[in-house]
Amino acid sequence: MGTSYSSCSHSTTTVSTHSLLLTHPKSSAFKQSRFPNPDFKFHSTHQIPQTHLRIMSQKPSQVLGGKVEVGETQEGVSKRPMIDFHGIDEGLVEKMVYDALVWSSLHGLVVGDKSVQRSGKVPGVGMVHAPFALFPMPFPESHWKQAYELSPIFNELVDRVSLDAKFLQDSLSRTKKVDAFTSRLLDIHSKMIEINKKEDIRLGLHRSDYMLDEETKQLLQIEMNTISSSFPGLGCLVSDLHRSLLNHYGEYLGLDSRRVPNNPAATRFVEALAKAWTEYNNPRSVILFVVQPEERNMYDQHWLSALLKERHNVSTLRKTLAEIDSEGKLRSDGTLVVGGQEVAIVYFRAGYTPIDYPSESEWRARFLMEQSSAIKCPSISYHLVGTKKIQQELAKPNVLERFLNDKEDIAKLRKCFAGLWSLDDSDIVKKAIESPGLFVMKPQREGGGNNIYGDDVREALVQLQKEGSEADAAYILMQRIFPTVSYTFLMREGVCYRDDTISELGVYGAYLRNKDKVILNDQCGYLMRTKVSSSDEGGVAAGFAVLDSLYLT
Amino acid sequence: MGTSYSSCSHSTTTVSTHSLLLTHPKSSAFKQSRFPNPDFKFHSTHQIPQTHLRIMSQKPSQVLGGKVEVGETQEGVSKRPMIDFHGIDEGLVEKMVYDALVWSSLHGLVVGDKSVQRSGKVPGVGMVHAPFALFPMPFPESHWKQAYELSPIFNELVDRVSLDAKFLQDSLSRTKKVDAFTSRLLDIHSKMIEINKKEDIRLGLHRSDYMLDEETKQLLQIEMNTISSSFPGLGCLVSDLHRSLLNHYGEYLGLDSRRVPNNPAATRFVEALAKAWTEYNNPRSVILFVVQPEERNMYDQHWLSALLKERHNVSTLRKTLAEIDSEGKLRSDGTLVVGGQEVAIVYFRAGYTPIDYPSESEWRARFLMEQSSAIKCPSISYHLVGTKKIQQELAKPNVLERFLNDKEDIAKLRKCFAGLWSLDDSDIVKKAIESPGLFVMKPQREGGGNNIYGDDVREALVQLQKEGSEADAAYILMQRIFPTVSYTFLMREGVCYRDDTISELGVYGAYLRNKDKVILNDQCGYLMRTKVSSSDEGGVAAGFAVLDSLYLT
């Protein structure tokens, strides 16, 4: 799912203290991450705010709002760092930090600074470099290739599932009763079924997220984002940054810049959008970016609109859902017109969370767009396919076989599925109460930061059993993944922090189809995100996530 | 001369109210520039601070410190705008403003935001787009070509004059008595003469500034910057920005992006630095950037270091004069070593103003570097050639002939000389007291914002006559130039202002010589700077200067 930039600076995953203390006794890293490198010469007064470090003991529901992608993951403990930076020369780090900060500023690797009021509204003011890792994260080449190979298969799967309206409605029928947001999405979906709405041109810009399980060495899928997949614009810049740094400092580090794979996410997404625009076939039409009223991650989006204009001469329009409600209309032929301009594609960078729908106005806008003949990226069906409940349903035996024919493809997908269960599976619920550390409870509700870990899993399950209501339909259970922990260097607000971290790999995929013709089905690039994995309480200081790239090993 | 970024946001030229009211009755523009376009939808609370608008009645010596380049100019009144933007479609402006702000953010057209404390020290934090004009400034192609043609001639002239130590010392002998800063520079120069120091490899990165006199249609030189010529990094980005905007909106405006000349200032300066580095001939040596302790215009400099590294694999080192004093040393063979690294070139982006020498430490550093065998950009001689007094001396009859042989070259130079006089010329002083509006009094003292205009010229001259001291040697008199006034759109801090403006064209030149061999003598690109020309008091609201490019007419 998509994310606002706040996900990066305010990521709010919480992990029970106890479960991590049991499995990961190392606790000294906290102080390292809390303070900037004392040897580093910037005269900074910034530290990680206390709120970011103290949230481990908070209830998930109490933490900050906003959609949090890193918060969707389930992480555990480490074995060994693959490349050890503990003994690195401090002078070298200092130079690299400075160069990296300069590079970010000159190359548009920037976000809005939350301390500057207008930075989420007006471009060009209140900018700060995006949080990034100083080094690319080591990652096995074989697993990277595996993730890339999966991308077109997932693209196709999403498309096939989206066409099975009954499967979507049935699978989500229990969720609908307990989750108001999913319920509204399903209502729109039902109405589209009623009017027999067909989407001839279907555009998917997805990102499938994975973690590498240290125990089993398996690449396991965390989730499939079918709406508002974030960071195609900035993520690829971090790959460029790392290659640039390794070109100059690689020999001191024993690292080769050619091992950082090329990352064309932004240009490929833009190519897909431009191709879809061409299929729509009106040279005067525009691409509508549906955005949040305040967006500090706007530059990630601006990279796409800038490239659309520069490389494809396609114009874009940025509107909030409320603006679309007031300025948008349908012509009798179904054409969507917003602010007087015909819309070829509705590209959602908002609308994935209940927070984006504070009133009926926003739902009217969503419905208006869905009814139109504009290409939706995503359509309501694609959006629903990306829900956790559908992810869990697809993991059931013999379900993939309903949508895909190729047995090899099915086997490849299944290989990356973590254990996924509905809470009506009493055996699994019993196991999870016994060994909560091996499970993550994921609410259907969007917005991130809502996952439940460790002893909280036990508590929540016991509570749901007592209540005996349908509330359990709001959750799925997922196998807890324990990824490799690496000691790394994290840059935020001009300060270099160092700590043990874990990483998540996302692979972007683009799918474009016009009726029977598949025009595009490809992987587009990757997103590596790295976050602090530990603190002196053993919890995950998830407030500190940065953009990263990968170093193939 | 060079400038810190503060010159752009804090430019402090003052013009007497009366002189402008006499010649330029238009006064309604004030309110337009004071408030952002009310139709523009940014929810900004920013306006031009009162201090910027109220300085017209202040004494020059009272205005803000710092080196101010636009403050060096002498501007008067307008005739007609060449391209009239008064009736421009507001919707179009709004789109262009947004696109321009996005473009700046993504392409590194940024400066430090003065409201963010660390923004002058740490790269990547507290960034805001550089102030820029929304449209390129119309400028006659013939005059642009003339300015380009003059560049290599000036480059050569600077080199020749720099070799005539006696001419420099003699010309500045009276100035030395009343100007402590020039005196210190001359002391270093004298010591170099004493030890018979020769600069075999001489590198000049100059910028000659011009205004186009509306009355006479003459291109007249304002000054020659031989130290710290600013904005080669950001100025060329504004040309790119304008070409990008005209590519998309040019047809609505009747403007052709190909009329914005290509501006390779950054790459050419970097090529010159890299060639000089090659002449120095030590692959492990670095280029030392001498910088101010706080520098909000750091990205202009970072563009040069980034290009040096990316394109030429040359490393740079940033140090203040104080740091060089503590970390620098000379090896017995004259090699300059700073922080353990051998310095091939000392590139000054500080050291041009007395403010940069708060203690003896900074003077020691300057002296140390001057003694060394590193290439100085500029050497103390080059620096002195750029003083106003030398500019005035070179304008005297038969002086150019002492340094150049080519009569055509001499004629070309002389054609661009404005009237320049010493204050020991009693006829001119008399004329200036009678008609102060036709003159500008320029103090030798560096730092900008010190020029005297209008009735203040009369007052100052009468005062100097009464005193009867040598204090008049601190000034020169210059013909007042009255450039074209254009109505234009100025972007600052995300807000679009509109007002009548005047512009100044700078042409960058690079000169590199090794003994008898001239390796490089070329024009490198241009810098257009545009500033508000009027207020309701008729003065110049010089606090509002922006980077611009030019549109050939």
What is the C-alpha to C-alpha distance for residues A455 and A471, in angstroms, rounded to an integer? 19
**What ipTM does the predicted assembly reach?**
0.85
Range B447-474 average pLDDT: 82
Asked if B518 is an interface residue toward chain A (Cβ–Cβ < 8 A), one would say no
Question: Alpha-carbon Rg of chain B, whole angstroms?
Answer: 22
What is the C-alpha to C-alpha distance for residues A125 and A110, in angstroms, rounded to an integer? 11
Asked if A248 is an interface residue toward chain B (Cβ–Cβ < 8 A), one would say yes
Asked if B359 is an interface residue toward chain A (Cβ–Cβ < 8 A), one would say no
Is the pLDDT assigned to residue A443 strictly greater than 60? yes
Range B69-93 average pLDDT: 59
Is the pLDDT assigned to residue B62 strictly greater than 70? no
**Which residues from chain B sit within 8 angstroms of residue A37, using beta carbons?**
none
Greater pLDDT, A60 or A441 = A441
Is the pLDDT assigned to residue B111 strictly greater than 50? yes
What is the C-alpha to C-alpha distance for residues A265 and A242, in angstroms, rounded to an integer? 16
**What is the distance of C-alpha B196 from the center of its chain?**
32
Query: Residue ranges of the alpha helices (H) in B60-162?
Result: 90-106, 141-162
Is the pLDDT assigned to residue B36 strictly greater than 80? no
Is the pLDDT assigned to residue A465 strictly greater than 90? no
Is the pLDDT assigned to residue B538 strictly greater than 50? no
* Sequence ranges of the domains in chain A: 6-150+208-237+393-552
Give the chain A residue nearest B118 (alpha carbons).
A44
Range B399-412 average pLDDT: 98
What is the per-residue pLDDT for A5? 30
Range B332-360 average pLDDT: 97
pLDDT band at A29 (very low <50, low <70, confident <90, very high): very low
pLDDT band at A447 (very low <50, low <70, confident <90, very high): low
Give the chain B residue nearest A339 (alpha carbons).
B91
| Cβ contact A108–B103 (<8 Å) | no
Is the pLDDT assigned to residue A192 strictly greater than 60? yes
Is the pLDDT assigned to residue A20 strictly greater than 60? no
Give the chain A residue nearest B244 (alpha carbons).
A310
| One-letter identity of residue A231 | F
- DSSP string covering B167-201, please? HHHHHTHHHHHH-HHHHHHHHHHHHHHHTT---SE
Greater pLDDT, B379 or B12 = B379
What is the per-residue pLDDT for A425? 85
Residues 6+ apart with CB under 8 A from A447: A65, A66, A67, A68, A353, A354, A355
Phi-psi region of B254 (alpha: psi -120 to 50; beta: other; left: phi over 0): left
Is the pLDDT assigned to residue B71 strictly greater than 90? no
| Cβ contact B244–A124 (<8 Å) | no
What is the C-alpha to C-alpha distance for residues B252 and A307, in angstroms, rounded to an integer? 21
What is the per-residue pLDDT for B469? 75
Helix (H, G, I), strand (E, B) or coil at B279: helix
**Which residues from chain B sit within 8 angstroms of residue A123, using beta carbons?**
98, 101-102, 105, 494
Strands (E), B261-404: 286-290, 316-319, 328-330, 336-338, 341-348, 375-377
| Cβ contact B106–A303 (<8 Å) | yes
Nearest-neighbour CA in chain A from B502: distance (Å): 25
B504-529, pLDDT tens digit by residue? 999 999 999 999 999 999 999 999 99
Range B249-273 average pLDDT: 96
Q: Is the peptide bond before A378 cis (omega within 30 degrees of 0)?
A: yes
What is the per-residue pLDDT for A533? 78
Is the pLDDT assigned to residue A3 strictly greater than 80? no
Range A311-340 average pLDDT: 97
Query: Which residues of A are known to be catalytic?
Result: 207, 223, 225, 230, 388, 442, 446-447, 529
Annotated binding residue B467: no
B142-154, pLDDT tens digit by residue? 999 999 999 999 9
What is the C-alpha to C-alpha distance for residues B332 and B236, in angstroms, rounded to an integer? 41
Range B27-40 average pLDDT: 32
Q: Which of the given ranges, A158-162, B178-182, B416-420, has the highest pLDDT on average?
A: A158-162
**Which residues from chain B sit within 8 angstroms of residue A101, using beta carbons?**
122-125
What is the per-residue pLDDT for A543? 57
| Cβ contact A123–B494 (<8 Å) | yes
Is the pLDDT assigned to residue B25 strictly greater than 50? no
Rounded to the nearest integer, the mean pLDDT of chain A is 84
Q: What is the DSSP letter of A136?
A: P
Residues 6+ apart with CB under 8 A from B505: B139, B143, B144, B147, B209, B210, B211, B212, B526, B527, B528, B550
Is the pLDDT assigned to residue B155 strictly greater than 50? yes
B211-247, pLDDT tens digit by residue? 999 888 999 999 999 999 999 999 999 999 999 999 9
Annotated binding residue A351: yes
What is the per-residue pLDDT for B1? 43
Range B468-490 average pLDDT: 87
What is the per-residue pLDDT for B86? 78
What is the per-residue pLDDT for B233? 98
| Cβ contact B105–A302 (<8 Å) | yes
The encoded tokens of residue A392 equal 């869990």
The encoded tokens of residue B7 equal 């010159």
pLDDT band at B84 (very low <50, low <70, confident <90, very high): confident
What is the per-residue pLDDT for A66? 27
User: 10 Å Cβ neighbour count for A435?
Assistant: 13
Range A132-139 average pLDDT: 96
What is the per-residue pLDDT for A336? 98
pLDDT band at A67 (very low <50, low <70, confident <90, very high): very low
pLDDT band at A320 (very low <50, low <70, confident <90, very high): very high
What is the per-residue pLDDT for A484? 87
Is the pLDDT assigned to residue A26 strictly greater than 60? no
Tokens 């790394």 identify what position? A488
What is the per-residue pLDDT for A424? 85
What is the per-residue pLDDT for B87? 82
Asked if A42 is an interface residue toward chain B (Cβ–Cβ < 8 A), one would say yes
Range B360-366 average pLDDT: 98
| Cβ contact B102–A305 (<8 Å) | yes
Is the pLDDT assigned to residue A197 strictly greater than 90? yes
- DSSP string covering A349-361, please? SS-SSGGG-SSHH
Tokens 């002449």 identify what position? B279
Asked if A303 is an interface residue toward chain B (Cβ–Cβ < 8 A), one would say yes
Asked if A128 is an interface residue toward chain B (Cβ–Cβ < 8 A), one would say yes
Annotated binding residue A225: yes
Nearest-neighbour CA in chain B from A495: distance (Å): 9
What is the C-alpha to C-alpha distance for residues A199 and A222, in angstroms, rounded to an integer? 28
B529 catalytic? Reply is yes
Beta carbons of B315 and B258 less than 8 angstroms apart: no
**Which residues from chain A sit within 8 angstroms of residue B494, using beta carbons?**
118, 122-125
Is the pLDDT assigned to residue B203 strictly greater than 80? yes
| Cβ contact A125–B108 (<8 Å) | no
Nearest to B494 among A107, A122, A302 (CB): A122
Nearest-neighbour CA in chain A from B369: distance (Å): 23
Nearest-neighbour CA in chain A from B76: distance (Å): 33
Q: Is the peptide bond before B378 cis (omega within 30 degrees of 0)?
A: yes
Asked if B407 is an interface residue toward chain A (Cβ–Cβ < 8 A), one would say no
What is the per-residue pLDDT for B534? 58
| Cβ contact A102–B493 (<8 Å) | no
A359-369, pLDDT tens digit by residue? 999 999 999 99
Tokens 């439940």 identify what position? A452
